[in-house]
Amino acid sequence: MARLPFISTLSRLLFPETCAVCGRPLTRGEEAVCNACLQELPFTGIPFTSDNAVARRLQALAPVEKATALMWYGKDRPSAKVIRLLKYGNRPRIGRALARHLAPYLEDDPPDLVIPVPLHPRKLRARGYNQLEEFGRVLAGRLGSTYADDLLVKFRHTPSQTRHGPWERWKNVAGTFKINNAGRLCGRKVLIVDDVLTTGATLGAAASVIREACPSARIYAAVMAFNYF
């Protein structure tokens, strides 16, 4: 049920939303991150092309045509703080703000479908939301694309893989995704979205599964942050 507008205004007055970086209450017109911290976010400006660092990392693993990333990722950078709060701090609205900043990167070649990397249902239950949902929905809305979170599903839990190298991660994750309704992917431009791109194993596995289900799909990728190494 939609909340009554005065209740949401009231709750905003009593519990103002705070900046995801510095923690100060946000003022009117600011979303998720205050204007001062926005200036400090490490936006990449990487154009959405087939020949950039993000695309090349993915192309080593999977048939991804074009890719981009909104921010550079680094443990001590504000981008990490923003994404940590989005994932673990019950702040799904941060995804909305990031999508608004990312949309201009993609508007020259908008996809037909925006597909989030799925969470395993168990993880989804534990967190209560998929951190990519608001991000993917707003991005799709801005680009005139369809948000489709029912086509790519995760059916096997992947053990935590932060300590593994790219090939172990790839082996771990390959075979954990499957496609529902491959017909909807055929001949379409499919944008896969994820939060942080490090080795590319997760996104690469998702791209491979889509390509296998439908060779005529054109696969794009966009992430909130790119861990360049």
- Site map (CB under 5 A) of Zn ion, residues 112-131, x = contact: --------------------
Closer CB to Zn ion, 81 or 188, in the complex: 81
Binding piece for Zn ion, criterion CB under 5 A, among 15-23, 91-99, 103-111, 126-134: 15-23
Q: Report how far residue 196's alpha carbon sits from residue 79's, in angstroms, rounded to the nearest whole number.
A: 10
Instruction: Name the minimum Å distance from CB 93 to Zn ion.
Output: 15
Residue type, 73: Y
DSSP state of 49: B
Closer CB to Zn ion, 38 or 153, in the complex: 38
Binding piece for Zn ion, criterion CB under 5 A, among 17-25, 106-114, 141-149, 168-176: 17-25
Of the candidates 114, 117, 80, 91, which has an alpha carbon nearest to the alpha carbon of residue 32? Answer: 91
83 φ, ψ to 5°?
-75, -35
Binding piece for Zn ion, criterion CB under 5 A, among 13-21, 104-112, 185-193, 210-218: 13-21
Q: Verify binding: residue 19, Zn ion, rule CB under 5 A.
A: yes
Closer CB to Zn ion, 46 or 82, in the complex: 82
The single residue among 22, 25, 40, 155 that binds Zn ion, judged by CB under 5 A, is 22
> Within positions 30 to 59, which residues make up the interface with Zn ion, using CB under 5 A?
34, 37
Q: Report how far residue 39's alpha carbon sits from residue 210's, in angstroms, rounded to the nearest whole number.
A: 37
Closer CB to Zn ion, 27 or 90, in the complex: 27
Q: Report how far residue 61's alpha carbon sits from residue 170's, in angstroms, rounded to the nearest whole number.
A: 9
The single residue among 15, 16, 21, 95 that binds Zn ion, judged by CB under 5 A, is 21
206 and 177 in contact (C-beta within 8 Å)?
Answer: yes
Instruction: Name the minimum Å distance from CB 50 to Zn ion.
Output: 35
Which residues are within 8 A (CB) of 65 and not within 5 positions of it... i.e. 6 or more apart? Answer: 50, 55, 218, 219, 220
Of the candidates 73, 75, 140, 74, which has an alpha carbon nearest to the alpha carbon of residue 102? Answer: 140
Instruction: Name the minimum Å distance from CB 33 to Zn ion.
Output: 6
Length of the chain in terms of residues written: 229
Q: List contacts with Zn ion (CB under 5 A).
A: 19, 21-22, 34, 37
